[in-house]
Amino acid sequence: MTGKFSDELLQKVYAMVRSAVEREGVLNVPEIAMQVKARFPNEHISIGDIEAKVMSVGQGLNAAMLFQHASDETRPDAE
């Protein structure tokens, strides 16, 4: 990882991952990562690093994972 996660950002990642898994039954990694990035615009962490952390937390919860960006859902060829 290229950047250091703040304690607040880490806590939010853990909370958002748990909430998504409980609510949806599946973890949409890019969606959660984008939500985290939007809530912490001043953190100097790449979206890839956030996605890696989201996946790591999800793996710790044995969560099923989905890798679909929100914009993919609106594409005509998306199923």
Query: Is 7 in a helix, a strand, or coil?
Result: helix
User: pLDDT tens-digit profile of 2-40?
Assistant: 468 999 999 999 999 999 999 999 999 999 999 999 999
Q: Is residue 1 over pLDDT 50?
A: no
Q: For the chain, what percent of residues have pLDDT higher than 70? A: 84
Q: Where are the domains of the chain?
A: 7-71
Q: Is residue 69 over pLDDT 50?
A: yes
- C-alpha 22: how far from chain center: 14
Angle (CA) 66-71-75 rounded to 5° is 105
